[in-house]
Structure 1
Amino acid sequence: MDASTSRVDPKMLELLVCPLTKGRLVYDAKAGELVSEKARLAYPIRDGIPIMLISEAREIKD
């Protein structure tokens, strides 16, 4: 994945929360995702835009 497609403004990251838990998100630059550890969901980032839809999130399994 091209770094420019997954880069997210750090100020925006401070404002974003998981839509399910309202908890904080962790930016995984390598995977290009925002991870909600509490909900065990990873939200994709497409063209630099976080897709904050539960239906688009990837479930994180052990």
Structure 2
Amino acid sequence: MSINKELLDILACPKCKGDIYLDDAGNGLICDKCKLIYEIKDDIPIMLIEKARPVTP
């Protein structure tokens, strides 16, 4: 999956307002502070706290 670099620069974690980054597989956006991953579907990040999943090591 591809997400626009400009979009990634302005997005923040909706829970803590911290920085997020694209995971290695390109399937989601990770917040290290909250330990959550926000899924990307059809190139659209789903930035809803209740839809986020815990990051697994």
Q: TM-score, normalised by structure 2?
A: 0.90
Task: Give the root-mean-square deviation of aligned CA atoms.
Answer: 1.3
Question: Highest Rg: 1 or 2?
Answer: 1
RCO comparison, higher one (Cα < 8 Å, 6+) = 1
Q: TM-score, normalised by structure 1?
A: 0.84
Runs of at least 5 residues in structure 1 that lack an aligned partner in the other structure: 1-5
1:34 to 24, 29, 46: 29
1:16 to 11, 24, 49: 11
Runs of 4+ aligned structure 1 residues displaced above 2 Å come to none
Instruction: Name the aligned partner's letter for residue 45 of structure 2.
Output: P
Runs of at least 5 residues in structure 2 that lack an aligned partner in the other structure: none
- The Cα offsets for residues 29-57 of structure 1, whole Å up to 9 and x where unpaired, read as 40511000000000000000000001111
Say which structure is richer in helix: 1
Aligned residues: 57
- Counterpart position of 2:40: 45
